Amino acid sequence: MFVWYLTMNLYAHLLAIRNHQDLNSYKEIRFLDYLRSNNYPVSAPMEECLRSIGDVRDLAGADYRLAFPVGPNEGHFGQIGPLTYSYYESMPAPIICAEQI
């Protein structure tokens, strides 16, 4: 259950970054609003870890934006195969984590 909880918070943080980049669908925005409703508090160490993920500006002033290849559709990226393997490596799929419980 703890892994699912951490994955949901990581997924919400990634959705917040996607939302800032205007990439979210309506369902993703609703999910993000639900998790931001303070019903699911995040521990301080986890929050610190999540805040370290995102867009970065280095000392020279160059900006690096977090890139998202694709978002999970209905909680997953489809059957794992040569075309979807990298999606599962780059972003959590909530339904996969939920099935492990």
Which tens digit of pLDDT belongs to each residue from 68-91? 665 656 666 777 788 888 877 777
Q: How far apart are CA 44 and CA 64, in angstroms?
A: 26
| Alpha carbons within 13 A on the beta-carbon side of 45 | 1
Q: Write down the pTM of the prediction.
A: 0.65
pLDDT-derived band at 60 (thresholds 50, 70, 90) equals: very high
Q: Is the model more confident about 17 or about 95?
A: 17
DSSP 43: -
Q: What is the pLDDT of residue 75?
A: 65
* Structural domain count, the chain: 1
Residue 101 has pLDDT above 60, yes or no: no
Q: Return contacts of 43-52, CB within 8 angstroms, 24+ apart.
A: 46/6, 46/9, 50/9, 50/10, 50/13
Q: State both tokens at 20.
A: 């800032």
Q: What is the pLDDT of residue 72?
A: 59
Tens-digit pLDDT profile for residues 85-94: 887 777 777 6
Domain that holds residue 75: 2-99
Is-contact 55 67, C-beta < 8 A? no
Q: How far apart are CA 42 and CA 30, in angstroms?
A: 19
Tens-digit pLDDT profile for residues 11-58: 788 888 888 888 777 877 888 888 777 777 778 888 888 888 888 888
